[in-house]
């Protein structure tokens, strides 16, 4: 008799509330600061970017925040998503470990990003917003918000990191298909982008630069546009917890509970979405699950960055938060193909790593793609390169179980498929990818440009 490999929930199990980790944080929250005055921000400042409903979610300490029914209606297009046991991968590794993965590639745009995109579009629509602006790195977030804005009849402009704009043109086409306007960032649409292009017309761009352009566009629109963000801030992580909440039910269906929970981490959204409900069990119910955040060695905010206050964008227009950061002047190397390119990490994820509740691990590019190919050959799913970082760590933990002769239950978030990432896979198969570890001296130089908080 074959082992069960798929655990599906019906629509009655779709979560009715998001989990807010602010209610259980083991450390006090740090203030969000105004980029100009470096004093705590006021709702008036934030209201230039976000509707008040989202601002209130950002500061809420309520453990459960109700998911509006119009949001749940759209979630039902793809949620609940599958939880699968990777039995074929286990056999290929010859490991006693049981490996499970939550598959967020089942969404219409192939990633976890619509979980917050739909929510943000709904709250903006409810507040009367006519248009939104945003940034996107690899294009996952841009496609998700484009779909969500289309559903709610809101206009959208997207600033897409230049290197990704050219490496992943089909993601741009998807955004345009949903009605969004997409610019390669840095662009001539903003004062900041124009200034950068004068200095370096071939700038590869960065997520920090794209954020600056989107924030400038919203801030100078006199209320005509609001800003949507795909990661880092608390309300984004909140909306993503539908992933982990469903996973708890699915692990119960499987009759097991994870010893190790793993997710990739760039800004923190898919990591938090999967891991926070399990961390809730650790903090409130005495569970002892190890929680691992995996990042690229070429963009190692958690493992090489400094835990300090920094700007959320390159132009120093976005709010200042305390986080692990490589410095807001960081530009990822052009050879980096695996996504997860942000210079910082979500404040709550950063605080949990600093407090010891979450382990941080960096993996190199080639071993990450090796893990992705091994997974796809065993399980059939071609993962997004971002998700492959989590797969690398899951395989490493499973091999450790093999070496020790111990059975452990490992669960990771497969945050999206890699169907639009064939350029990166092609480079890997041709032997054109190279490993790159971000130099410590560059981190130290970037620290000279941090905002001077607290004297």
pLDDT confidence of residue 6: 92
* Residue 203 in tokens: 């700038």
Range with lowest mean pLDDT among 66-75, 79-88, 420-429:
420-429
Q: Angle at Cα 411 formed by Cα 392 and Cα 141, nearest 5°?
A: 70
Give the residue-averaged pLDDT of 206-220.
89
pLDDT tens profile 152-181? 999 999 999 998 898 888 889 999 999 999
Higher pLDDT pick, 388 / 329: 388
Give the residue-averaged pLDDT of 57-81.
97
Average pLDDT, the chain: 93
Residue 401, φ and ψ in degrees, nearest 5: -60, -40
Q: Are 236 and 266 in contact (CB under 8 A)?
A: no
pLDDT tens profile 120-157? 999 999 999 999 999 998 788 999 999 999 999 999 99
Give the residue-averaged pLDDT of 280-293.
97
Instruction: Give the pLDDT band (50/70/90) at residue 1.
Output: very low
pLDDT confidence of residue 337: 61
CA distance 145 to 31: 28
pLDDT confidence of residue 263: 98
Domains (range + CATH), the chain: 6-13+78-110+235-447 (3.40.50.1100), 43-67+113-232 (3.40.50.1100)
Range with lowest mean pLDDT among 100-109, 267-276, 390-399, 427-436:
427-436
Which residues are within 8 A (CB) of 87 and not within 5 positions of it... i.e. 6 or more apart?
3, 5
Give the residue-averaged pLDDT of 376-382.
98
First and final CA of the chain: distance in angstroms?
67
Decide if pLDDT at 80 tops 80: yes
Burial 61-99 (b: 16+ CB within 10 A, else e): eeeebebeebbbebbeebbbbbbbbbbebbebbebebbb
């Amino acid at each position: 008799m074959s082992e069960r490999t798929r655990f599906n929930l019906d629509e009655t199990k779709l979560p009715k509330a998001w989990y807010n980790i602010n209610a259980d944080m083991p450390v006090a929250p740090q203030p969000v600061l105004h980029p100009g005055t470096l004093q705590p921000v006021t709702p008036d400042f934030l209201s230039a970017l976000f509707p008040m409903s989202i601002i209130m979610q950002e500061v809420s300490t309520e453990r459960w925040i109700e998911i509006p029914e119009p949001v749940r209606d759209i979630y039902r297009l793809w949620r609940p998503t599958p939880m699968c046991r990777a039995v074929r991968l286990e056999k290929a590794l010859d490991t006693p470990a049981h490996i499970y993965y939550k598959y967020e590639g089942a969404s219409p745009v192939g990633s976890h990003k619509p979980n917050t995109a739909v929510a943000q579009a709904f709250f903006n629509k409810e507040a009367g917003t006519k248009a939104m602006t945003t940034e996107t790195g690899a294009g996952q977030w841009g496609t998700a918000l484009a779909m969500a804005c289309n559903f709610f009849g809101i206009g959208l402009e997207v600033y897409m990191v230049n290197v990704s704009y050219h490496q992943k043109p089909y993601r741009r086409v998807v955004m345009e298909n949903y009605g969004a306007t997409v610019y390669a960032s840095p662009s001539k649409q903003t004062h900041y982008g124009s200034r950068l292009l004068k200095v370096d017309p071939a700038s590869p761009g960065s997520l920090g630069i794209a954020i600056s352009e989107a924030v400038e566009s919203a801030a100078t629109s006199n209320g005509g546009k609001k800003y949507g963000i795909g990661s880092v801030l608390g309300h984004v992580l909140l909306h993503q917890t539908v992933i982990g909440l469903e996973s708890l039910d699915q692990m119960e269906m499987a009759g097991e509970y994870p010893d190790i929970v793993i997710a990739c981490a760039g800004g923190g959204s898919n990591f938090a979405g999967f891991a926070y409900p399990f961390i809730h069990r650790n903090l409130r119910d005495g569970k002892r699950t190890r929680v691992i955040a995996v990042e690229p060695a070429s963009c190692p905010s958690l493992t090489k960055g400094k835990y300090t206050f920094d700007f959320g964008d390159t132009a120093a227009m976005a709010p200042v938060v305390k986080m692990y950061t490589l410095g807001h002047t960081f530009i990822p190397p052009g050879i980096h193909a695996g996504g997860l390119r942000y210079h910082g990490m979500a404040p709550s994820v950063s605080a949990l790593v600093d407090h010891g509740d979450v382990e941080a691990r960096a993996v190199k590019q080639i071993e990450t793609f090796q893990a992705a190919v091994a997974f796809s050959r065993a399980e059939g799913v071609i993962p997004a390169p971002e998700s492959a970082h989590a797969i690398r760590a899951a395989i490493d933990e499973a091999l450790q179980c093999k070496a020790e002769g111990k059975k452990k239950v490992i669960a990771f978030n497969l945050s999206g498929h890699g169907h639009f990432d064939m350029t990166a896979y092609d480079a890997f198969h041709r032997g054109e990818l190279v490993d790159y570890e971000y130099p410590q001296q560059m981190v130290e130089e970037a620290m000279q440009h941090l905002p001077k908080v607290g004297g």
